[in-house]
Structure 1
Amino acid sequence: MIDLTGKVAVITGGGKGIGESVSQILSKQGAVVHILEIDKESGNRVAEDINAQSRKAFFHYCDLTKHDAVGIIFQEIFKVSGHIDILVNNAGIAHIGNVEATSPEDMDRLYNVNIKSVYSCLHFGVPLMKKSGGGAIVNMASVASLVGLADRFAYSMTKGAIYSLTFSIAKDYINDNIRCNAVGPGRVHTPFVDNYISQNYPGQEAETFEKLSKTQPIGRMGKPTEIANLIAYLCSDEAAFITGSYYSIDGGFLTLNT
């Protein structure tokens, strides 16, 4: 049912993990995808793969912590496309540690990537969406937006901010035909998870993976495509009545862990 033909979509962090799946699935539904990614190799790889399948994608190297650089890229996309219809604020980094183990440098890094970059994309993207006649924004929150997770002090802080700013954008621009929602994944099986396990639990990879999988009541980690499918729906006209909402996609983590 989902048809994004003719839509222009901007996806941050669209070259890896969940972002890669978002890029692929939105393009499959007909959107012209613009991938903003700091990793040149992965960004180019995903864009080339999409184009090789007779779909359309563009890679833009972007350090999302550089406010003015973000603005230049958004203006370039708008100039070429004539409109921006979809913005998926997916890019983010993780951090492990409680408040004592979190340095000022850690806090600045998490803020710059996970919060300020979203602000920059919204700051430049929203006016262009207004010129386009409206659009759909999806922000990547987390179960950490709503519940306490051990040793995730700085990360949880940033995801709490994403949760709340989603409602502000939805409220402020509802009359401009701009919808804004957030999704809150639980643990999703991406290369980041595999790297984390191998670095922190050498020799215990299989049992650690099983333990982490079972923190979701459904008994497994999510798949990047499952998150991306929800995002695609929220970006589509089929979701035209949905704004200012947060969607848990966590295998029952928030509601079934008792």
Structure 2
Amino acid sequence: MDIRENINDTRKGFEELFAAGDFYNRQTQDSEHLEKITGFVKIAEGMRVLDLGTGSGYLSFPLAKDNPGCEIIGLDIVCDALEANRARAKAEGAKNLSFVSYDGVDFPFEAGSFDVVVTRYAMHHFPDIGHGIGEVSRVLRQGGQFFVSDPRPNDCDKDGFVDDYMKLRKDGHVKFYTKEEWINECAKCGLKLRDCFDSSMRFARKKETVAGYRDVLKKHDKAVVDSYDLVETDTELYITEHVNNLLFVKG
């Protein structure tokens, strides 16, 4: 895999999604899930929190509002989104919230500089997941928390239907990981699972962006495809993805 090419695909794909903001928001926003995340991750006064793959600041803004005594930093590769976030933060007077761009590989922060790292629907785009988790561990202090929310393959999906489907749109999708894969990869970097919960999302894609999807459907067992509750309309495709929500602790 060409890491730089993958990162560029991700950047380009998300620039297009943010430009079509209404559709992007419709396929990713979930107020019940957001409320559960903000209540699940324990943030105390004075903590420094990194929102990895912040995107539109979906996690960063409520975390900053709910924790005015903490510093919240959103990190992403999509500069246009970060500029929009900065303008919004200024307009809302969110003085404890800032946004930083990076190259998609190495985090531009010192070791042990964060108490909490959170990420939602982002890490399946990371071309080297081991390096990404290693960077999370590096910037976390001992005892720091890492919360990841990311879709997972269904238990019956042994041949990667959902990954083949997600890769139809050239936005840098790499892989959805099982809970066990997350536990094993994080353990290599000194991160131990503390708590978890499951959720799901109804994911929409415009048919014009996923040319060749019928070939993917033919390639995989119908029972596997049906397990994602795929629905096709004249203009869109919908699948239901189950989501891992995992809280790890360093050390």
Distance 1:154 1:27, change over 3 A: same
* Residue 131 of structure 2: aligned partner: 120
Instruction: Tell me, in whole angstroms, the C-alpha distance in 2 between the residues paired with 1:42 and 1:85.
Output: 25
Q: How many residues align?
A: 179
* Residue 87 of structure 1: aligned partner: 117
Instruction: Tell me, in whole angstroms, the C-alpha distance in 2 between the residues paired with 1:187 and 1:209.
Output: 19
AA in 2 matched with 1:166: I
The equivalences for 1:109-258 within 5 A come to 113-116=125-128, 118-129=129-140, 132-144=141-153, 146-148=155-157, 150=161, 152-153=163-164, 158-160=175-177, 164-169=181-186, 173=190, 186-188=200-202, 193=204, 196-197=206-207, 199=209, 207=233, 212=238, 243=248
* Residue 39 of structure 1: aligned partner: 78
1:85 and 1:136 in contact (8 A); partners too: yes
Q: Give the SS at the match of 1:24.
A: helix
The partner residue of 2:109 within 47, 66, 74 is 74
AA in 2 matched with 1:7: M
1:11 and 1:88 in contact (8 A); partners too: yes
More helix by share: 1
Q: Percent identity?
A: 12
TM-score, with structure 2 as normaliser: 0.52
Q: Deviations over 1:138-168 (max 9, x none)?
A: 2233132644274633859721267513345
CA drift of 1:27 comes to 1.6
Instruction: Tell me, in whole angstroms, the C-alpha distance in 1 between the residues paired with 2:74 and 2:52.
Output: 6
The partner residue of 1:27 within 36, 41, 64 is 64
Instruction: Tell me, in whole angstroms, the C-alpha distance in 2 between the residues paired with 1:162 and 1:154.
Output: 20
Residue segments in structure 1 that go unaligned for 5+ positions in a row: 94-109, 235-241, 245-258
Instruction: Tell me, in whole angstroms, the C-alpha distance in 2 between the residues paired with 1:39 and 1:120.
Output: 20
Instruction: Tell me, in whole angstroms, the C-alpha distance in 2 between the residues paired with 1:186 and 1:12.
Output: 20
1:11 and 1:36 in contact (8 A); partners too: yes
The partner residue of 1:13 within 24, 33, 53 is 53
TM-score, with structure 1 as normaliser: 0.51
More strand by share: 2
Distance 1:180 1:36, change over 3 A: farther
